Amino acid sequence: MSNKTDVWQGTLALMVLKTLEALGPLHGYGIARRIEQTSGGLLSINYGTLYPALLKLEQEGYVSSEWGASDNNRKAKYYKLTRAGRKQLERETREWDKTTAILARFFAAAKEES
């Protein structure tokens, strides 16, 4: 049994965009490892989920990609944040902050009532 948590619906794209903003162009494996590392090993990224998310982000114009060589000299597709992706990251970050603030109110109210 694993101690790792599944990524919440709708948060993977935000984590991918934030990772690319912080580190610049990365291939899918590097993105997954960085997200797992940043979570302190609490998240596990499934490639069957990551690559469709990357494809969707590319189709939406938030990331672009190009083929290059990885550290071990293998062919890899590198993804980078676009200008539209930076704007989307700003929007999603604001929405995430608003959502977590609302949830915090509910948790605080429930704690006061108990």
Domains of the chain (ranges; CATH) run 12-113 (1.10.10.10)
pLDDT at 47: 87
pLDDT at position 4 over 70: no
From residue 22, give the alpha-carbon distance in Å to each of 25, 73, 74, 78, 110.
Answer: 9, 24, 24, 15, 36
Residues in the chain: 114
- The pTM assigned to this predicted structure is 0.86
Among the listed residues 61, 92, 102, 97, the one whose alpha carbon sits nearest the alpha carbon of residue 79 = 61
Contact 45, 36 (CB under 8 A): yes
pLDDT (tens digit per residue) in 27-70: 999 999 999 999 999 998 988 999 999 999 999 999 999 999 98
Nearest to 28 by CA among 83, 73, 65, 72: 65
